[in-house]
Amino acid sequence: MTKSAHAAIYARISRDVTGEGLGVERQLADCRQLAADRGWTVAEEYVDNDISAYKGKRRPSYERMLEDIAAGQRDAVIVYNTDRLTRRPIELEEFVQICESAGVQQFATVTADINLGNDDGMFMARILAAVAAKESGRKSERQKRKARETAEAGKPNGGNLRPFGYERDQLTVVESEAVVVRILAGRYLAGESLMSLTSWLQEEGVSSVAGMPWRTSALRQTLTNPRIAGLRAHNGEVVATAVWPAIITPATHEQLVAMFARKKVTGRRAPRRYLLSGLLRCGKCGNKLFSAARQDTRRYVCMSGPDHGGCGKLTIVAAPVEEWLAEAVLLRVDSPAMTDALAGRVASDERHAALLASLEADRAQAKELAELWSAKVISTEEWKAAREPLQTRIFNTDRQLAQLTGTNTLDGVVGHGEELRTSWESLNLTRQAAIVAAVLDYATITPKTSSGRSTVDPNRIIATWRL
């Protein structure tokens, strides 16, 4: 009887559904018994739970065992079956090479007696590894086909962590959380930022299903998940109507997805500090005014230079013009003209998606055009000639997208200007800016006619209304 005082036991299971490690524990018990039968002393047990040996993922305990074998600290290896050690022939060859270099020839399995120290044993081990790899491939395909069938039947896919808004069975709505989802969806469509909404969740004491504070990434994933609209997705594609009830309508889901896509295109990430960013024009040159600060005073400025292209000759203090235009918007939301403009107008999701696709295509073409000019494939004259119609289309498409979004922003606002005025200061800046941008296309600021005024001259503001 061959003895060893430094045997290694390796156990692995690729999928631990319960999370209790029972499959691994059964392997270890049988391997311990085999070690006792052979008179080997187990030096250490190496366990990788819930990790596949077929997909090439890292197995920390397996790698550590190889290091210990290479260092001469182990004289034998015990596994339940060779497919627990590896399901990849190339990995088997690596294991054998390390064992041979370290002088380890004692290899035992519970299910078969294989000696890696001779040709017959290696031949059998290679056959078993190839069979295991083939079976893993078939199993993977069966699992993929089953997952697809489950999705197309509208059934949930299981998992240990329940989705927010639903019980652990993934079918029953948790109404208290569903109310939160609807509020979040409505406020995001109304123009509020993810950062603002995560702050609101924290203030309200609403935790994620994991019991952790919300992050913007998790909130984005929740709001764009087709599941909350009663839709079943598979690999990013909606394939069926779900068997569970919806929390929001499919139309609202489409609007959320389109809104997230549009914000990704525009790329605005910095926290907003100015109510009218992007909405003011210079009365001298027509260029956009940019936000700027001088000491403690916020201002809107026409900037010159190649990056801005303005005349650099107009400035207006931010606070007074923001207050004046905000009041003008509040008056306008109660006007008959506003009611008439919104009457019968519904934001079409298909129209929104088409406009978004057009915008992305034009932006990509503009980038390609710039690259051609940079590579000197086209001349400056050719670049300018092709760029101008592209810029015009991009500008017009962006305005149309903003108009469609504005319909959601003004839900519950039109006809309630006085109520909105009372609560205006309590709204965060992103919500205020969304309401203003839904009503106001832009405002032109003309040069001042007198100096020393501490308040804004209304005659300097020429508003161009969107609605």
In this prediction, residue 235 has a pLDDT band, given cuts at 50, 70 and 90, of confident
Contacts of 322 (CB under 8 A, 6+ apart): 274, 275, 276
For residues 324 and 460, membership in a common domain is answered with yes
Distance of CA 459 to the CA centre of its chain: 46
For residues 240 and 353, membership in a common domain is answered with no
Cα–Cα dist 335/169, whole Å: 50
For residues 293 and 365, membership in a common domain is answered with yes
* CATH classification at residue 32: 3.40.50.1390
The identity of residue 417, as a single letter, is: G
Residue 452 located in a structural domain:
yes
For residues 254 and 284, membership in a common domain is answered with no
pTM of the model: 0.47
Residue 110 located in a structural domain:
yes
For residues 127 and 218, membership in a common domain is answered with no
Q: What tokens were used for 184?
A: 């979040």
Per-residue pLDDT at 18 exceeds 50: no
For residues 238 and 336, membership in a common domain is answered with no
For residues 218 and 248, membership in a common domain is answered with yes
Cα–Cα dist 266/264, whole Å: 6
Among residues 231, 265, 299, the one where a domain terminates is 265
- As a whole number, mean pLDDT of residues 276-304 equals 88
Residue 393 located in a structural domain:
yes
List beta partners, residue 76: 7, 106
Q: Domain containing 349: what range?
A: 280-465
Residue 2 located in a structural domain:
no
Residue 436 located in a structural domain:
yes
**pLDDT in the model for residue 347:** 43
Strands (E), 306-370: 315-317
Is there a contact between 75 and 35 (Cβ–Cβ < 8 Å)? no
**pLDDT in the model for residue 22:** 56
> Is 450 buried (19+), middle (13-18) or exposed (0-12) by CB count in 10 A?
exposed
In this prediction, residue 219 has a pLDDT band, given cuts at 50, 70 and 90, of very high
List beta partners, residue 442: 464
For residues 286 and 257, membership in a common domain is answered with no
Residue 271 located in a structural domain:
no
- Decide which of 410 and 268 is more confident: 410
Report the 3 state secondary structure along 337-371. HHHHHHCCCCCCHHHHHHHHHHHHHHHHHHHHHHH
For residues 323 and 417, membership in a common domain is answered with yes
Per-residue pLDDT tens over the stretch 306-338: 667 789 999 999 999 999 999 998 888 877 766
Is there a contact between 405 and 259 (Cβ–Cβ < 8 Å)? yes
For residues 126 and 43, membership in a common domain is answered with yes
Question: Distance between the two ends of the chain, CA-based, in angstroms?
Answer: 92
User: If we measure between CA atoms, which residue out of 318, 267, 313 comes closest to residue 291?
Assistant: 318
Residue 285 located in a structural domain:
yes
Residue 272 located in a structural domain:
no
List beta partners, residue 237: 234
* CATH classification at residue 208: 3.90.1750.20
For residues 247 and 395, membership in a common domain is answered with no
Is there a contact between 387 and 362 (Cβ–Cβ < 8 Å)? no
